[in-house]
């Protein structure tokens, strides 16, 4: 059984250790590993940010291919009788509607004037591959022009054959073309090729792509990201946000309190796709990470603004050079240096300072009681 005389010194020792550890805990809360920039620094580095989100995370494979005309949406215009074109009402790349008059032909049959016929558009679309011109002789074997309907196009991906087991009709894909690098086109896998290409070791994967604006044109090169699996509620960030190599991966997180301040935060990564990287540990949903400019930020040192200046501006009062709160005496000295001799120093004491003062008083009482119990003779 512990005597009363032994309890008080034990309590006193615990209090001393607690007091000794608290300054270190307070010191740990000071944000030291920060890069703090001014407005010019942010603009010069062209920083962009994005939120860490919990969302569906898809695994995908990449492939290259081209845009082609959707089967059945290319119409050839020709004449059933020989003759001569007397009038051409359209020009290449012109949009037409079904029934529009395209070409007037003069027949070779005798007559005064010779009989003529008018060729009309069999469907809506754009004029392509136009070979006819006014006065040019035509025959039934000639292809005068073609009309292509681009409301829906075929996108043909050449997928490495070792991925064939991951593909099945109905899978979603995202397609990009060099002409529109910031735009993504959604597509659905329609079918796989009946035969693989022995020379390139690829398998054809055909996608239907809605193209209401007509941006995708046959012959364009395309990059495909084909989704093969998906998981829900996965924390991830854009690929460009994650820096470092191997075991040392990190991101720069925008400080929630200080303006233009970014903290280097180590992270544990999981799976990756072409757009995002899974974050297993190190971030919380809603954290704002630097994307564009993250690599350059690593060479900014501590930045162009000190931690003290940033905290002073954020909190409206002075801090120490390391960013910690000033004690009452230090705050008073600071105020005096800036012409505030009549400032009430007690009002500048922080809650942490009051806590230390109260705890010191409690320890003093415990030490006094401990001394008194030691001097009391045993009963």
Q: What is the pLDDT of residues 170-223, one digit of tens each?
A: 999 999 999 998 899 999 999 999 999 999 999 999 999 999 999 999 999 999
pLDDT over threshold 80, residue 130: yes
- CA distance linking residue 12 with residue 367, whole number of Å: 7
pLDDT of residue 370: 74
Number of Cα atoms under 13 Å in the Cβ half of residue 194? 0
- Fold type of domain 34-57+233-297: 2.40.420
Token pair for 70:
């959707």
Of 9, 151, 144, give the one whose Cα is nearest residue 73. 151
Domain 60-69+152-232 in the same topology as domain 34-57+233-297: no
What does CATH list as the number for 60-69+152-232? 2.40.30.170
**Do residues 239 and 272 touch, judged by C-beta distance below 8 A?**
yes
Question: 316-324 long-range contacts, Cβ below 8 Å, gap at least 24?
Answer: 317/348, 322/27, 322/30, 322/32, 323/30, 323/31, 323/32, 324/26, 324/27, 324/30
Segment 9-36 shows an average pLDDT of 51
Name the β-bridge partners of 222. 65
pLDDT, position 317: 55
Give this prediction's pTM. Answer: 0.55
pLDDT at 2 over 80: no
Residue of 128, 113, 136 whose CA lies nearest to 73? 128
CA 1 from chain center: how many Å? 64
pLDDT at 342 over 80: no
Q: What is the pLDDT of residue 357?
A: 77
Provide the 10 A C-beta neighbour count for residue 140.
Answer: 10
Output the CA angle 32-35-41, nearest 5 degrees. Answer: 155
How much is the pLDDT for 65?
96
pLDDT digits (tens, 9 = 90+) for 134-157: 999 999 999 999 999 999 999 999
pLDDT for res 24: 41
DSSP letters along 275-309, please?
SEEEEEES--TT-EEE-TTHHHHTTSTTBSS-HHH
The rounded mean pLDDT for the chain is 81
Taking alpha carbons only, the member of 276, 305, 299, 288 closest to residue 251 is 288
Residue 312's H or E segment, with its range, is helix 307-315
pLDDT at residue number 313: 53
Neighbours of 197 (CB within 10 A): 12
Secondary structure class of 6 (helix, strand, coil): helix
Task: Check whether 49 has a pLDDT greater than 70.
Answer: yes
DSSP conformational letter for 319: B
Instruction: Please report, for the chain, how many H helices and E strands are present, in that order.
Output: 6, 22
pLDDT at residue 288 greater than cutoff 80: yes
Q: Count Cβ atoms below 10 Å from residue 82 Cβ, excluding itself.
A: 15
Residue closest to 265 by CA, chosen among 232, 242, 231: 242
Task: Write out the two tokens for 215.
Answer: 């941006």
Taking only the tens place, the pLDDT of each residue in 68-123 is 999 889 999 999 999 999 999 999 999 999 999 999 999 988 888 889 999 999 99
CATH topology of domain 74-148: OB fold (Dihydrolipoamide Acetyltransferase, E2P) (2.40.50)
pLDDT tens by residue, 209-259: 999 999 999 999 999 999 988 889 999 999 999 999 988 999 999 988 888
Average pLDDT over residues 345-361: 65
Kindly list the domain boundaries of the chain, sorted by start residue.
1-30+324-379, 34-57+233-297, 60-69+152-232, 74-148
């Amino acid at each position: 059984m512990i005597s009363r005389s032994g309890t008080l010194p034990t309590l006193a020792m615990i209090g001393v250790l607690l007091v000794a550890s608290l300054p270190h805990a307070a010191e740990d809360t000071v944000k030291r590993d920060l890069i703090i920039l001014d407005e010019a620094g942010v603009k010069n580095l062209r920083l962009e940010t994005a939120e860490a989100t919990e969302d569906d995370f898809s695994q995908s494979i990449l492939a290259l291919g081209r845009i082609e005309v959707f089967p059945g949406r290319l119409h050839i215009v020709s004449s059933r009788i020989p003759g001569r074109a007397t009038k051409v009402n359209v020009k290449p790349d012109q949009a037409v509607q079904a029934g529009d008059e395209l070409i007037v032909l003069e027949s070779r049959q005798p007559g005064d004037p010779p009989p003529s016929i008018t060729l009309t558009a069999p469907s809506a679309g754009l004029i392509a591959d136009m070979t006819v011109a006014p006065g040019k002789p035509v025959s039934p074997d000639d292809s005068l022009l073609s009309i292509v309907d681009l409301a829906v196009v075929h996108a043909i991906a050449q997928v490495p054959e070792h991925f064939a087991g991951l593909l099945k009709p109905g899978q979603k894909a995202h397609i990009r073309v060099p002409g529109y690098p910031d735009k993504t086109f959604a597509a659905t896998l329609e079918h796989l090729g009946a035969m693989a290409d022995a020379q390139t070791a690829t398998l054809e994967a055909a996608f239907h792509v809605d193209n209401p604006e007509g941006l995708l044109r046959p012959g364009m090169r395309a990059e495909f990201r084909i989704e093969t699996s998906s998981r829900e509620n996965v924390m991830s960030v854009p690929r460009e946000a994650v820096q470092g190599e191997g075991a040392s991966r990190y991101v720069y997180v925008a400080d929630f309190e200080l303006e233009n301040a970014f903290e280097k935060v180590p992270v544990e990564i999981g799976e990756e796709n072409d757009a995002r990287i899974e974050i297993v540990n190190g971030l919380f949903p809603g954290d704002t990470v630097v994307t564009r400019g993250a690599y350059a930020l690593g060479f900014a040192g501590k930045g162009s603004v000190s931690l003290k200046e940033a905290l002073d501006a954020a909190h409206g009062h002075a801090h120490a050079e390391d960013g910690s709160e000033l004690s009452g005496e230090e705050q008073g000295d600071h105020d005096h240096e800036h012409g505030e001799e009549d400032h009430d120093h007690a009002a500048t004491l922080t809650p942490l300072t009051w806590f230390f003062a109260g705890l010191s008083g409690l320890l003093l009482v415990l030490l006094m009681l401990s001394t008194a119990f030691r001097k009391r003779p045993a009963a």
